[in-house]
């Protein structure tokens, strides 16, 4: 019972946050809605008894991503005059919603009815210990590759974000 | 709280993210919509992990989150770069590759 | 035997190449020696073959196969030669008279800048004609047929600087082609009708019974259309007078002695076919008779010496077709044989006169040349007697044989036309002779001297014209008809008593004398060019306006059609359709260009649209939600 109502509230926040994100004109409002959605998602992970993911989601998705994007939004100094004029936003959203519907139906059809109920989990499910055990035994190679990926992304971000130096002599 | 609910939620999130990518001109909103799509996938994976009872799905989620972080860095660096070039974050203003009528 | 054909082709090639190396250099001796040597060699070889054939029985065939040329399923054609008695006769006079004319041409064309080219073409013609008569199957004969047409075109248009000559050459070739079209249809029908029983002459002869009569008649008619074009019968004759634009040796060889007789040869070669369909033969004989009369009438009013001879050739060809049409192939070939001698002689003599008078061709500007050109006069006199049919010269025997056939086979209309034509022949030939050699001299200019190479052949041919008649002497006159027995063609025989034969012969001589007398009275003393003062004269002098009629109905119609095809069909319809398609594409392209506006958002939308469609399809397949 508790779980169901928790689920309901979190779902509401999730959906509301994401809808808000795409509807708000002001960028900062969109970012804040997105943050709420990410928090709600973290809660979802908690509901799934996955403590590690709950933490990871808050740390990365909220703490890094949202904060970083807010930083950039603010540093770019988006005023009302700078914002893009999205006059046909509503029409576009409705049109693309129509186009997305079949895809969504297909995805749901593929996913649903695989299992009907959640089962009881073991003790230690979702703990850091179990996560570490799986990560460093079966998933070592992807782990290493992702670390290389992060390195590359770091280098790339620095390269792209650099100020151009003008060579005047 | 059945798995089907979670799946429904994830599907809705994914669609909303997709709508956002296509409809909005503001680059930041596009970025956040992409994140939203990835997060929907994370939700699906986590649900399956819970259903199977082992951590394989969760590990995948972790790795995807790492990728999200990398992508954040790159995307936002690009937005900064583009802003420096054109002083706008409207994706419609970056259309130099368009085919103009005279070029037919 | 192969070398008979190969030598002229080889020398043509050699002369052509040497000429092309340096067209301006004058290599008279080289060209004339090579050019004359090749027909001489061919004559020697032809005579050898002839003797060989003489020694064998009458239906012997000699074959030489070079290689298999076409092999498509049942259609097998070899590059092969065949010689039988008919071939031997044709070979004889083609090579011998050809040699004489080559010698003559060496003298006639001396000093011409394109001398080497001339002999190259001349030898090419010899090779082609020999290929035609030595062919083993109709396709090879057709190859020779086309090649002589080509050589004729090249030689008529030899003086190509003058546009009128080119037109004449084109006319000859085109009319020839029209005839060839019929010929090809005939050959194709024959092949289809024989259904794979082989396509050489012997094979066709053996299997001729397989083809039904109506089809055979059709084939025979179509083959004759080819002969109509090649041998200048009505209605495809209009090229022959214009062909006189070529040099005189060309007229002598091609348009008198050899090429134009190819049609007659073809009918004789297909004698087994024409024997099966005598109705077609009657049509052929009728066309021959009408052509003969028609040409004789026109010739009586012509002023150009070569044109008179051209119409005379057409007329004599008509006689030959009367003979082969009525089934007496050997009489037709005999007339071909004798005609070659005296017609070549007449042309060469005319050429001598033309050269002597500095290229003057209008007979009314000549006159009184009897003393100055005595040799030419003597030989041409003999030839004129021969063509008029006065014994003992050769023309009498061959012409008499044809008239006898016409009479005894009860084709009295043909006989009547032919006899009238005989009278007219004598008339216009003696008219020409008298005007040129007897009447008042029109000009007192000094004459060009004639080289020896031009005069000796005249003498030899005069001898031939005088004596070859004896070969065809039939029993009524005491001979054993050596010619007919030699050539052994499947003739029809018609009964004619000796008295009737003598009477007919006498009638012929009478007709000839009447013609000669008329000519003497009208022209021997004073010769005036006929003016077009009556309607009849107007019509005849303008050759009955046939050329103009053809031009109006056929040429202009074709021109209009091709103009329509070019301006309307090609430009408007075809190009218009293409343009519509192209502009459709352009419009569609312009539409689609608007989709590529460089904005990433739109591209994502397109991907989404594609995904949506695919998902719908998948949902449909999977059966809905």
Residue A26, helix vs strand vs coil: coil
- ipTM given for this complex: 0.90
The parts of chain C modelled with pLDDT lower than 50 are none
Residues of chain A contacting residue B82, judged by C-beta atoms under 8 Å apart: none
Q: Which of A76, A134, A160 sits opposite B56 (nearest CB)?
A: A134
Shortest CA distance from B1: residue in chain A? A4
Interface test with B, best of A10, A29, A48, A166 (most B CBs within 10 A): A48
Residue B98 lies in a domain: no
Q: Which residue has the tokens 């459709």?
A: C584
What is the average per-residue pLDDT within B67-90? 89
Short-list C31, C33, C36, CA closest to C16: C31
End-to-end CA distance of chain B: 58
What is the rounded distance in angstroms from the CA atom of residue A162 to the CA atom of residue A160?
6
Q: Name the β-bridge partners of B90.
A: B26
Neighbours of chain C (3+ CB pairs under 8 A): A, B
- For residue B103 the two structure tokens come to 């070029």
Q: Name the β-bridge partners of C72.
A: C75
Would you call A99 and C609 a contact, using CB atoms and an 8 Å cutoff?
Answer: yes
Would you call B76 and A11 a contact, using CB atoms and an 8 Å cutoff?
Answer: no
Q: Which CATH number belongs to the domain containing residue B28 in this structure?
A: 1.10.287.3510
Would you call C612 and A99 a contact, using CB atoms and an 8 Å cutoff?
Answer: yes
Tell me: pLDDT of A169 over 60.
no
Residue B72 lies in domain: 4-90
pLDDT tens, residue by residue, A125-160: 878 888 999 999 999 999 999 999 999 999 999 998
Measured in degrees and rounded to the nearest 5, phi and psi for residue A111 equal: -85, -35
What is the rounded distance in angstroms from the CA atom of residue C619 to the CA atom of residue C74?
62
Q: Name the β-bridge partners of C83.
A: C62
Q: Name the β-bridge partners of C78.
A: C68
- For residue C388 the two structure tokens come to 């008029």
What is the rounded distance in angstroms from the CA atom of residue C421 to the CA atom of residue C400?
13
Residues of chain B contacting residue A4, judged by C-beta atoms under 8 Å apart: 1
pLDDT at C512: 84
Query: Please, is C361 exposed, middle or buried when counting C-beta atoms within 10 Å of its C-beta (0-12, 13-18, 19+)?
Result: middle
Our count of domains for chain B comes to: 1
Hey, is the C-beta of A141 within 8 angstroms of any chain C C-beta?
no
Is residue C115 a contact partner of residue C33, using CB atoms and an 8 Å limit?
no
What is the rounded distance in angstroms from the CA atom of residue B30 to the CA atom of residue B26?
6
DSSP letter, residue C69: E
Tell me: pLDDT of B8 over 90.
yes
Tell me: pLDDT of A43 over 80.
yes
- For residue C379 the two structure tokens come to 């030989």
Domain spans of chain C?
1-194, 339-530
Is residue C402 a contact partner of residue C317, using CB atoms and an 8 Å limit?
no
What is the average per-residue pLDDT within B16-41? 93
Is residue C148 a contact partner of residue C211, using CB atoms and an 8 Å limit?
no
Q: Which of A114, A117, A150 sits opposite B70 (nearest CB)?
A: A150
What is the average per-residue pLDDT within B62-88? 90
Residue B103 lies in a domain: no
Short-list C383, C395, C241, C233, CA closest to C311: C241
Is residue C371 a contact partner of residue C271, using CB atoms and an 8 Å limit?
no
Question: Percent of chain A, pLDDT > 70?
Answer: 96
* pTM above threshold 0.90: no
Residues of chain B contacting residue A31, judged by C-beta atoms under 8 Å apart: 28, 32
């Amino acid at each position: 019972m508790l779980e169901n109502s928790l689920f309901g509230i979190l779902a509401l926040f999730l959906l509301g946050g994401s809808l808000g994100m795409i509807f708000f004109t002001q960028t900062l409002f969109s970012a804040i809605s997105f943050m709420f959605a990410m928090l709600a998602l973290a809660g979802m992970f908690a509901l799934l008894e996955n403590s590690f993911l709950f933490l990871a989601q808050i740390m990365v998705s909220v703490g890094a991503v949202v904060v970083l994007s807010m930083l950039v939004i603010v540093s770019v100094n988006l005023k009302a005059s700078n914002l893009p004029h999205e006059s046909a936003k509503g029409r576009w959203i409705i049109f693309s919603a129509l186009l997305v519907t079949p895809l969504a139906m297909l995805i749901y059809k593929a996913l649903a009815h695989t299992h009907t109920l959640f089962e009881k989990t073991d003790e230690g499910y979702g703990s850091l210990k179990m996560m570490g055990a799986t990560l460093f035994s079966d998933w070592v190679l992807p782990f290493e590759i992702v670390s290389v990926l992060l390195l590359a992304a770091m280098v790339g971000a620095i390269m792209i974000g650099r100020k151009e130096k003008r060579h005047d002599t | 709280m059945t798995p089907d609910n979670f799946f429904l939620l994830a599907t809705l999130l994914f669609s909303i993210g997709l709508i956002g990518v296509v409809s909005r001109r503001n680059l930041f909103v596009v970025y956040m919509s992409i994140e939203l799509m990835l997060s929907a996938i994370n939700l699906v994976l986590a649900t399956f992990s819970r259903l199977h009872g082992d951590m394989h799905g969760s590990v995948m989620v972790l790795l995807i989150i790492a990728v999200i972080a990398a992508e954040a860095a790159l995307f936002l660096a690009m937005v900064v770069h583009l802003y420096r070039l054109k002083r706008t974050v409207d994706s419609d203003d970056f259309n130099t590759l368009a085919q103009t009528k005279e070029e037919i | 035997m192969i070398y008979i054909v190969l030598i002229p082709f080889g020398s043509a090639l050699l002369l052509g190449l040497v000429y092309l190396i340096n067209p301006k250099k004058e290599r008279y001796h080289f060209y004339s020696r090579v050019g004359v040597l090749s027909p001489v060699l061919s004559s020697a070889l032809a005579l050898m073959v002839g003797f060989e054939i003489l020694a064998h029985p009458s239906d012997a065939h000699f074959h030489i196969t070079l290689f298999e040329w076409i092999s498509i399923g049942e259609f097998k054609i070899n590059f092969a030669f065949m010689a039988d008695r008919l071939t031997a006769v044709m070979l004889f006079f083609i090579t011998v008279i050809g040699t004489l004319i080559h010698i003559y041409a060496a003298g006639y064309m001396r000093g011409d800048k394109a001398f080497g080219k001339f002999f190259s073409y001349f030898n090419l013609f010899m090779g082609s004609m020999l290929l035609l008569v030595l062919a083993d199957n109709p396709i090879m004969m057709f190859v020779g047929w086309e090649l002589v047409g080509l050589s004729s075109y090249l030689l008529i248009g030899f003086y190509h600087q003058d546009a009128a000559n080119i037109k004449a050459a084109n006319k000859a070739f085109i009319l020839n082609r029209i005839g060839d079209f019929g010929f090809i249809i005939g050959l194709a029908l024959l092949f289809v009708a024989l259904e794979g029983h082989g396509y050489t002459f012997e094979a066709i002869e053996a299997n001729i019974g397989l083809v039904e009569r109506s089809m055979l008649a059709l084939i025979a008619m179509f083959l004759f259309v080819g002969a109509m074009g090649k041998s200048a019968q009505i209605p495809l004759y209009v090229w022959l007078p214009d062909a006189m634009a070529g040099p005189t040796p060309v007229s002598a060889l091609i348009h008198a002695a050899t090429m134009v007789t190819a049609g007659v040869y073809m009918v004789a070669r297909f004698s087994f076919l024409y024997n099966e369909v005598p109705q077609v033969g009657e049509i052929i004989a009728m066309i021959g008779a009408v052509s003969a009369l028609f040409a004789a009438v026109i010739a009586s009013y012509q002023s150009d010496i070569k044109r008179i001879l051209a119409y005379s050739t057409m007329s004599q060809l008509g006689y030959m077709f009367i003979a082969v049409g009525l089934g007496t192939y050997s009489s037709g070939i005999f007339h071909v044989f004798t005609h070659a001698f005296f017609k070549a002689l007449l042309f060469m003599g005319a050429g001598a006169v033309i050269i002597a008078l500095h290229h003057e061709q209008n007979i009314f500007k000549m006159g009184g040349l009897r003393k100055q050109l005595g040799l030419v006069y003597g030989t041409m006199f003999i030839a004129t007697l021969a063509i008029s049919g006065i014994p003992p010269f050769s023309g009498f025997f061959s012409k008499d044989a044809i008239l006898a056939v016409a009479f005894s086979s009860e084709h009295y209309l043909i006989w009547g036309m032919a006899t009238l034509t005989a009278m007219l022949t004598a008339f216009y030939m003696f008219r020409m002779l008298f005007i040129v050699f007897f009447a008042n001299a029109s000009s007192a200019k000094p004459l060009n001297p004639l080289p020896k190479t031009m005069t000796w052949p005249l003498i030899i041919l005069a001898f031939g014209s005088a004596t070859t008649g004896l070969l065809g002497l039939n029993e009524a006159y005491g001979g054993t008809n050596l010619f007919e027995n030699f050539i052994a063609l499947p003739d029809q025989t018609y009964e004619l008593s000796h008295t009737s034969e003598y009477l007919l012969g006498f009638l012929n001589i009478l007709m000839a004398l009447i013609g000669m007398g008329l000519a003497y009275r009208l022209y021997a003393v004073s010769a005036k060019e006929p003016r077009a003062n009556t309607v009849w004269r107007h019509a005849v002098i303008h050759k009955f306006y046939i050329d103009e009629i053809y031009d109006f109905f056929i040429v202009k119609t074709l021109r209009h059609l091709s103009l329509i095809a070019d301006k309307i069909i090609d430009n408007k319809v075809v190009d218009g359709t293409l343009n519509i398609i192209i502009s459709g594409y352009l419009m569609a392209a312009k539409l689609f260009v608007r989709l590529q506006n460089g904005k990433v958002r739109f591209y994502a939308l397109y991907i989404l649209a594609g995904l949506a469609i695919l998902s719908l399809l998948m949902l449909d397949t999977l059966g809905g939600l």
